[in-house]
Chains A and B, each alone.
Chain A
Amino acid sequence: MAGRNTGFQPISSGATNLLFVAPAMILFGLFVLWPLGSSVYYAFTSWSGYTKPEWVGLDNFRRAIFHDPVHIASYLHVTLYILGTLVLEVSFGLVMAVVLNSDRAGFSIMRGMFFSPMVLSMTAAGVLWAFVLDYRLGLLNSVLRGVGLDDWAQPWLSQPATALIAIMFVSGWRFSGFYMVIFFAALRRIPRSIYEAATLDGATPIKQFFTITLPLLRQQMLTCVLLAVTGGFAGFDLFFTMTNGGPFDATQVPATWIIRQGFDNNQLGYATAMTVILAVVVLIVAVVYLRVTERGNHVRY
């Protein structure tokens, strides 16, 4: 009412709004929409990066979905990797958060040590572990040989049976501290009185974990799983530095295969088509996951 009396015009008129959002919209269009649109265009072309793109319709998509077994296998590998990360990163991070949830002396240092791999870049972590797992001079095989277990020394990153598992372990080493911190922060917010009451009722620590801790960490758990799943699909640097998709494509994930096709083999059109497929898959997985978890969140009376 006061505004009407002073004669000021409300600034929320359509044209003025557009003026204010224009810079953001221009930036968004220039750096998000335009690259996205051009990517979709290149996905329908045969393009080496050197010559002019040539329109090929759906050929790249047909090849990727029906005639490229390595591309299809890369989704199997990334699914296995994600399942591995759910165990070695999220679950292990949760266990460590519970185990290290104490104010006693030394526990904060242990939490810090457990979190410390997170400060390393993924590339540095990959290179470091490639040295540790080296067949001839690596730390792991040297220890095994040192204690007389020569037959146990393996070319961990050079054989299909062990390469993906090795990457999962390194990923677990790198990220479990991150998930531990998330769970630890949530654990500190659970009132102690609930545990005290449960103890008085005779509940064992394990029963308390499953009946109190886990249900109260549900929201954090869902967030961590979402992060692990979407992050897993985007996984690249660790695979690139440790195995580059090998041996024999056994650790090929969508991102490494896209890079291989795009830059090693100069098939940027085909690589872009696979990128579009990856984006759609991740979108579907994320939307389905969010819908399912939202449904589970409804409070029923």
Chain B
Amino acid sequence: MTLVSRLAATCAMALLAASSALADVELRITHPISSGAGKDAFDKIVAAFEAANPGVTVKQIVFDDDIYSDTGLITQLQSNEVPDIYFQWAGYPMQRDAQAGYAGDLTAAMADGWKDTFIDSAFAPGSGTSVDGKIYLVPVSLDVTNTLWYNKSIFAENNLTPPATWDEFLAAIKVLVAAGETPIITGNNELWPLGNWASHIAARTVPAAEYDAAFRQQKTFAEAGFLKPLELMQQLAEAGAFNKDMQGLGADPAMAGFFQEAAVMHPIGSWLVGSEGDLAAPGFAYGQFDTPVIDPSLPGSKSVIGTMTGFIQHAKAAHPAEATAFLKFLTAQDQAILWSTSGAISPVKGVADKAKLPVQMKGMADMLAGADAMVSPPDTTYPVPVAEAYYQAAAYAASGERSATDALKWLDETVGAMPKP
């Protein structure tokens, strides 16, 4: 072979390689699904998508949950190389992204029947997936953000059953304290774990309009009637309900503590089920019940607190067609069943019936079906600083650091200093 023909062959190979590289698409997806059964299921869905779409590879950019919501996402959205698809919570974060021009409008893509594959409430007003009738978020999970998980064995040892009313709940806590148990473990060093539950309690005791006005800074929390939920938190503190180290403990170590029987109950969301395989000993028996009824005369006395989570296609996605194709693939029934089996409640029609839901998820699906209202967590519905201030006031009362009255005073002073929207 002459030198010229060798050069020609080399050039031809280089051109071939370059053209095949051009045909390849790398879809960039960022999310906080970093561990447990959820990660396994998502990896399988990604692998199945790549197998079904030769030439398309998916690059997952994964962060821990808190880092993702604090800095991980925003830095990517501000960068020159934005992700094609990103995980987001429905409600305020989605609205903010839509207003800032990050979230892509998927209304047209949904019009071909895709939208009809979801349950009706997925895109209903107030669902937090659309703004002004335009759909921005493809819902993937319906998360119950707080329920009370309990250790069945310790309940049985103390002749306890899941309480139906607040008084029964307090009585159960006193029985557990007398038996030398820590009734409730929570890891509140980031404030949202207990804050979320305290918000649900507030939604059960404060009229909806007043509740909304306080978080929108249109009324003070005292005027809106938030003394009552803070007093309930104080009652728990006085009964010795919580672990001593709750303000220094993280959410994940607290969950591990529950599975290690360091306490009897653990208020946290539906995602606990996904961690059972990693954290619980074989045969660990646990169940869940919703926050007991506080005032049956109030509307929403059997409400559930929760939110939808899903994915947004970036408005400036480098590969919009492939991004939409992935989102359709992710929410197709087979994949939604796989996702749901990992420990999620899917908003895709028919999946709840067909998926082999873990028994705990089945219980939560039933709880959702029996709820008379759905409450959204304040930090996905209202400005985060206001929500966090309420969370901290609740922590003050629940830890006994301040009385309910003083915590409320602190809350109104703190929120009063914030700029109004």
Chain A residues close to B by CB (< 8 Å): 46, 48-51, 56, 59, 63, 67-69, 134-136, 155-160, 163, 243-244, 246-248, 261, 263-267
| Structural contact, B385 and A157, CB atoms closer than 8 A | no
* Whole-angstrom CA separation of A156 from B257 in the bound complex: 18
Q: Which listed residue, B70, B77, B190, touches A263 by the CB 8 Å rule?
A: B70
| Structural contact, A247 and B189, CB atoms closer than 8 A | yes
Q: Does B262 contact A (CB under 8 A)?
A: yes
| Structural contact, A63 and B419, CB atoms closer than 8 A | yes
- The tally of residues in B whose CB lies under 8 Å from a CB in A reads 33
| Structural contact, A264 and B247, CB atoms closer than 8 A | no
Q: How many A-B residue pairs have CB under 8 A?
A: 78
Interface of B is mostly: helix
* Whole-angstrom CA separation of A46 from B420 in the bound complex: 11
| CB-contacts of B207-255 with A (<8 A) | 243-249
- Can you give 26 A-B contacts (C-beta < 8 A)? A46-B419, A49-B74, A50-B99, A50-B102, A51-B96, A63-B417, A63-B418, A134-B245, A135-B248, A136-B245, A155-B245, A157-B245, A158-B245, A159-B247, A159-B248, A244-B189, A244-B190, A246-B189, A246-B248, A247-B189, A247-B247, A247-B399, A247-B401, A248-B399, A261-B385, A266-B74
**Chain A CB within 10 Å, residue with most, of B190, B247, B388, B419:** B247
| Structural contact, A248 and B244, CB atoms closer than 8 A | no
| Structural contact, A155 and B244, CB atoms closer than 8 A | yes
Interface of A is mostly: loop
* Whole-angstrom CA separation of A298 from B1 in the bound complex: 84
Within 8 Å CB of B247, what residues of A? 158-159, 246-248
Q: Does B392 contact A (CB under 8 A)?
A: yes
| Structural contact, B388 and A265, CB atoms closer than 8 A | yes
- Nearest opposing residue in chain A for B387, CB measure: A265
| Structural contact, A264 and B70, CB atoms closer than 8 A | yes
* Whole-angstrom CA separation of A243 from B248 in the bound complex: 6
| Structural contact, A155 and B70, CB atoms closer than 8 A | no
Given known contacts A63-B417, A67-B417, A265-B384, is B96 in contact with A135 (CB within 8 Å)? no
Q: Does B143 contact A (CB under 8 A)?
A: no
* Whole-angstrom CA separation of A157 from B243 in the bound complex: 13
* Whole-angstrom CA separation of A264 from B383 in the bound complex: 11
| Structural contact, B257 and A155, CB atoms closer than 8 A | no
Q: Does B78 contact A (CB under 8 A)?
A: yes
Distance to closest chain B CB from A264 (angstroms): 6
Given known contacts A265-B384, A265-B388, A267-B385, is B97 in contact with A50 (CB within 8 Å)? yes
Q: Does B118 contact A (CB under 8 A)?
A: no
Distance to closest chain B CB from A247 (angstroms): 3
| Structural contact, B248 and A158, CB atoms closer than 8 A | yes
Within 8 Å CB of A163, what residues of B? 248
| CB-contacts of B372-419 with A (<8 A) | 384-385, 388, 392, 395-396, 399, 401, 414, 417-419
